[in-house]
Chains A and B, each alone.
Chain A
Amino acid sequence: MQELLINLAIILAKITAALVFTIALMVPAMVYIERRLVAFFQQRLGPNRVGPFGILQPIADALKLILKEDITPKGVDKILYFLAPAIALFCACMNVAVIPFGPDLQIMGRTIPLSVANLNVGILYMLAISSLSVYGIVLAGWSSNSKFSFLGGLRSTSQMISYELAMGMSLIGLIMLSQSLNLSDVVNAQSKWPFIIPQFIGFIIFFICMVAETNRAPFDLPEAETELVGGFHTEYSSMKFAIFFMSEYANMVIMSCLISTLFLGGWRWPIADPVALFGPYIGVLVGMGQFVAKIFAFLFIYIWLRSTFPRFRYDQLMKFGWLVLLPLGILNVVVTGIVLTWFR
């Protein structure tokens, strides 16, 4: 009984920690960092009034959004309209579950793996959940009863479906190398070399798809401000809008987590076994530090891309997904297979 309770407490603590990390820590940090960095890229200063260096700006933004009037436009499908932002954020949060944040923590005679759920089908789970998150956007666009939102929803559906395929393809080569769908095993398989070296094409495809999946520039067609007045969230206001905003940033963080885990060795690279090197506690911290550093690197690249590239045209986007990325992914699978059968 006591054992059960302790296990339950550990699980709850892990869930809380993971959610606090992504939603409460990384999302506001990302909001601030993005606004500041984009400003610097454009030789502006960005928000620097609230708190030292403007660090409290996300809090001010959140307060503002909470205090805004919550408008439900005429003719919306009420149930779906309310459900859509919830689905978006829910899917973003769900994906945190399978990410191994660091080496196993040895504490008080227990071994605690630092991932909420060490699933055997982690990669499949992650692909499935990120596919589900398209529902949030589609339903938002559909239920708003607005042509702009509807177009945004349509765009994101076709975009996400076409890039989902290439994303899956890019991972097959990696799975062939790691021989496992478990993300912890994937990380362990990278103790010597991160998979970015043997799977460079896969990495590039996954990276492009991840930018497209999170609807970020240059793939931000679903929320193209210039054409669609905000796209799927045109009709949303107040906290419901904020939830879409949060889910977008959470998705960015999670996709950065995933690509670091899958291709850059998660917490295992460049220091392969921090626990053996630094002891059980500092080693865990070092491992997590390596992981977080990679996440931030990818988040920086996200912002860098946003401040560099203009938006794709819709037909270019579809062509690129189906005629470039998907064949490239298949080629990658074939080449990896040939190399594995001949040289092993």
Chain B
Amino acid sequence: MIKELLKGLFITQKHLWRKPTTIQYPEVKKVMPERLRGRHHLRRDEEGLELCIGCHMCAVVCPATAIYLEAEENTEQDRRSGGERYAKVYQIDYLRCIFCGFCVDACPTDALVMGQEYEMSSYQRKDFIYGKDILLDALNKKTDVKAYYHLNGDTDNSSPQKVNKEKPLEGSESK
């Protein structure tokens, strides 16, 4: 019996000298996996045009009906996206979103991707409805975000697919 007791003590003693596994969260953050399904981003193409063509595919596929968007025709004076239409209003309700990534899979132009941000707490419920002002990448932000989750698992983000202005959906179909 005594041998077993000493054995137990020896084992716990070994753990005393090991490095604690604690990550001191607010100061030290865990390195998240590259393809983490974090907060969504609406990307732009190389010319700065929005990739989203307002096709409603994401909203339709969303199992939590978290996505709301209103599409609007592009005009010559006000060209927002490469396609025929663009999303005038694009809202994701993060109190509903389950971060399943279906919307990203459904997106024909790879406009909608999921980034690395996961700290989205707030005191007000209304703060959880993210509009285009937050979701849409800034003009120069494209290169800043290192990893995105999207259908093809292409995390290098070097070549967001350019949408043919005349035939918007052709590019994605050829893939």
Contacts and interface: CB of A to CB of B under 8 A. Distances in A.
Contacts of A44: 20-22
Contact of B9 (A37, A40, A45, A308): A308
B8 A308 contact: yes
A241 interface: no
A54 to B, nearest CB: 12
B13 A45 contact: no
B167 interface: no
Interface in A248-275: none
A309 B16 contact: no
A124 B12 CA distance: 36
B25 to A, nearest CB: 11
A42 B9 CA distance: 13
A45 B24 contact: yes
Determine which residue in B8, B20, B24 has the highest number of CB atoms from chain A within 10 A of its CB, and name it.
Answer: B20
A308 B11 CA distance: 8
B5 interface: yes
B12 A308 contact: yes
Interface of A: 37, 39-45, 304-305, 307-309
22 contacts: A37-B16, A39-B20, A40-B15, A40-B16, A41-B15, A43-B15, A43-B19, A43-B22, A44-B20, A44-B21, A44-B22, A45-B20, A45-B22, A45-B24, A304-B9, A304-B12, A304-B13, A305-B9, A307-B12, A308-B11, A309-B5, A309-B8
A187 to B, nearest CB: 29
Interface of B: 5, 8-9, 11-13, 15-16, 18-22, 24
Contact of B20 (A40, A305, A307, A309): A40
Given A304-B13, A307-B12, A308-B12, A43 B5 contact: no
Nearest to A309: B8
Nearest to B10: A308
Contacts of A40: 15-16, 20
Contacts of A305: 9
A309 B8 CA distance: 8
A41 B8 CA distance: 12
Listed from nearest, the 6 A-B pairs whose CB atoms lie closest are A308-B12, A45-B22, A45-B20, A43-B20, A308-B8, A43-B21
Nearest to A39: B20
B21 to A, nearest CB: 5
Given A39-B20, A45-B22, A305-B9, 14 more contacts: A37-B16, A40-B20, A41-B15, A41-B16, A42-B15, A43-B15, A43-B18, A43-B20, A44-B21, A45-B24, A304-B13, A308-B11, A308-B12, A309-B5
B12 to A, nearest CB: 4
A215 to B, nearest CB: 19
A285 to B, nearest CB: 30
A44 B19 CA distance: 8
